[in-house]
Amino acid sequence: MKTLFQTFRLKQLRYRHDPFSLAIWLLVTLATLATVAILLLLVGYILVKGVPNIHLSLFALEYNSENVSLLPALINTLMVILLTLTIAGPLGVFSALYLSEYANRSNRFVGWIRLATETLAGIPSIIYGLFGMLFFVTFLHWGYSLLAGSCTLAIMVLPLMMRTTEEALHSVPDAYREGSYALGAGRLRTIFTIVLPAAMPGILAGVILSIGRIVGESAALIYTAGTASQIATGLFSSGRTLSVHMYNISNEGLYISQTYATAVVLLLLVALINWISNFAAGKLTKGS
């Protein structure tokens, strides 16, 4: 608190002849403090409500009405994350590579692609769910399955991965490319040995955001992956994720304490995935 007061006094002295700048600094500081406070309040509320309700029965291999196990949903969530990123990752990265490194930026077709990705990014998730149900579940006869849900989620996160990857590629200085060309490297070699390693932290940031949307999605998965409470035995098997599991048990109104416990596990899962991604980004940055 003393440090904050000292900072305020320094800013006040610096901006004493410019009260508008001081007011802007105060607004920015208050907005930051409010954001941090809301985040801490939300996380603290989940931990206080959920940690006391975590028991070993929640991690039983099979779900039933007595243990309300979340382990099958956790395993299904990991499978959905892996499958969705396997589909959307290469498509998003290579599409962004084309738009950033090969396509003419003044090309009208490129402008249409960017408009389409921005439009797709703003569509509500339930619309994706209805499309997935009509196309993957009904038209392709995949039924309620992890594959149908993962393909639907891949379409959802593809615009996000494309935009973040493209921004990461644009942030790489052109001097890196020019230096590589001057040493005799071709465009393809330059992209995979110079540009991609330098842009990897930004690309992984897009992956983290995509994982957050995959983990938190429920509406689209209810229409495509189904709500089966057991571990999916294959790509064409139905299974619920943690978010769908939370929705189902909270909707029943009998397992509110287990819902908070599931929220804690979901929060820890997202934090763990973010830490692993940041660790990998740091290693790749040092390696490059």
Residue pLDDT, tens place only, 52-82? 888 888 888 888 888 888 899 999 999 999 9
Pick 44 or 28 by higher pLDDT.
44
C-alpha to C-alpha distance for 28 and 64, rounded to whole angstroms: 50
Task: For the chain, give the mean pLDDT.
Answer: 85
pTM of the model: 0.84
Where in the chain are the domains? Answer: 2-53, 58-287
In tens, the pLDDT along 201-244 reads: 888 888 888 888 898 888 899 999 988 888 988 899 998 999 99
Give domain 58-287's CATH architecture. Orthogonal Bundle (1.10)
